[in-house]
A = this chain, B = another copy of it.
């Protein structure tokens, strides 16, 4: 598979390169950067010495890139990705596109435009939402993937089995998520400055984070009705990892066993979802560097709530890993390819 990475100098791009380095069927043909074209990738990321010698090219060469690639991963800011997607698929209609941003995540483009404040310019794309475990068969037949957000992956995986089986009071869902700083990217800003983040924890974008409508759209579709959720992201002083703590009131009469059954029947056969069971405590570090999502759930009989907890590596299952998982599905390769290394613990 000839692969190009559009916007390769961010952490997501670097993570794609890390993962693809161990993919036996992958050949990275172009990697692009508008800020540092001409620079060798391992000058920017010396950890990649021995893995890539390649120099970055500019998107000005999109014609060539699209023509010579079988699949492109896009790691550009929202608004820009759909432009590249539109042009690249026009150049090479057989090209597969996996966008790691938000442009192709929403079936309802109006919701996208409302939350992202830009016009959607590639509405005709038949994009599939790339949460592999939920949409595998559609992904297999698709050529454009909107790869899910990091928070959304963890949160949806924690709640989907319960929502799908109508076990929850849909108006009661609250998601309190904690993320490492790599999710904020490599661009400089005070909020990612070491001394500001260190020995600190904060909430941000309360009641306004853009992953909210993404969660709502997917869960709403599973539920068969519209729903709204409270979603609160927090920044904690780690580089990698998201822990999503999800609260919901169980419908009257739902037993703990019904909750267990929902998880095991949804995910019992899923390699990348590790069920720690009722009473289990996922921790982010156990997933570090891998595509696993660890899940545990708790029934609070005093309040009638279920508390479901998901842990992922935001750069892997929350971004580049799931993107490669989707690529494997799209190309009918063993889904675990390049995603089989054990977690880096401790």
Interface of A with B (CB < 8 Å)?
11, 14, 17-18, 21-22, 45-51, 171, 174, 176, 178, 180-182, 186, 188-190, 192-204, 206-207, 228-230, 232, 234, 236-241, 243, 245, 247, 271, 274, 276, 281-289, 292, 294, 298-303, 305, 307, 309, 311, 340-346
From B232, B241, B307, B341, A201 is in contact (CB under 8 Å) with B241
Residue of B nearest to A242 (CB): B201
For A272, the closest partner residue in chain B by CB is: B50
Residues on B with C-beta less than 8 A from A289 are 289, 344
Q: Are B271 and A303 within 8 A (Cβ)?
A: no
Contact assessment for A344 and B346 in the assembled complex, using a CB-CB cutoff below 8 Å? no
Partner of A194, one of B203, B239, B281: B239
Given A18-B345, A298-B206, A344-B18, also A199-B234 (CB < 8 A):
no
A301 and B230 CA atoms in complex are apart in Å by 10
Q: Is the CB of A206 within 8 A of B300?
A: yes
A243 to chain B: closest residue by CB: B201
Known: A174-B174, A238-B237, A307-B232. A195 touches B202 (CB 8 A): no
What number of copies of this chain does the assembly contain? 4
In the bound complex, what is the Cα–Cα distance between A345 and B315 (angstroms)? Answer: 10
The residue of chain B having its C-beta at the shortest distance from the C-beta of A309 within the complex is: B203
A206 adjacent to B176 (CB under 8 Å): no
Q: Are the C-beta atoms of B18 and A50 separated by less than 8 Å?
A: no
Name the distance in Å between A174's Cβ and chain B's nearest Cβ. Answer: 5
Known: A201-B243, A238-B200. A186 touches B194 (CB 8 A): no
Q: In chain B, what residue has the closest Cβ to A282?
A: B202
Indicate whether A14 sits within 8 Å of B345 (C-beta atoms), given known contacts A199-B239, A207-B298, A300-B230. Answer: yes
Chain B residue with the shortest CB-CB distance to A238:
B199
Contacts of A230 in B (CB 8 A): 247, 300, 303, 305, 307
Chain B residue nearest in CB terms to A175: B176
A232 to B237, CA, bound (A): 19
Q: For A227, give the chain B residue with the smallest CB separation.
A: B303
Which residue of chain B has its CB nearest to the CB of A290? Answer: B47
Chain B positions within 8 Å of A292 at CB level: 50
How far is it, in angstroms, between the C-alpha of A180 and the C-alpha of B194 when the chains are bound? 10
- Distance in angstroms between the alpha carbons of A289 and B194 in the assembled complex: 18
In Å, the complex CA distance between A193 and B203 comes to 19
Do residues B174 and A198 form an inter-chain contact, with CB atoms below 8 A? no
Contact of A238 among B50, B190, B198, B281 (CB under 8 A): B198
Given A195-B182, A241-B200: A206 in contact with B344 (beta carbons within 8 A): no
